[in-house]
Amino acid sequence: MSRRDSARPAAEGAEGWPAAEAAPDPRLWRHGSFRRYWGGQAVTVAGFGITTIGISVIAVVDLHASTMHVALIAVRANCPRCCCPSTPVFSLL
């Protein structure tokens, strides 16, 4: 018997490798924090879509906006604040 075999801890497997520990459950739906995150993201995406369509409809129906105005509103909605700061041109839309 070699020295390595006699000094091997009991937690090691037959080949000298550490014994496998129980892996965590790979199904994310069992974790409450993931379900809350997923639900929040779903509400955010749905709200963004409804807001985008709603603003365009209001612009056309109530303000009689042209196609160009609706396009500018859509561009401004998707543009980050650093690219298109609130200038007087965009505040009129």
Task: Report pLDDT for 40.
Answer: 95
H-type alpha helices, the chain? 3-6, 32-61, 67-78, 88-91
- At 34 the three-state DSSP class reads helix
Residue for token digits 């998707």?
78
Quote the tokens at residue 82: 């650093």
Task: Report pLDDT for 76.
Answer: 81
How many angstroms separate the Cα of 8 from the Cα of each of 20, 21, 81? 16, 17, 61
pTM for the predicted model, two decimal places: 0.51
Per-residue pLDDT of the chain (93 residues; tens, 9 = 90+): 555 555 555 555 556 656 666 666 678 888 889 999 999 999 999 998 898 889 889 999 998 999 999 998 888 877 766 666 665 555 555
65 contacts 59 by C-beta, under 8 angstroms? yes
What angle separates helix 32-61 from helix 67-78, to the nearest 10 degrees?
160
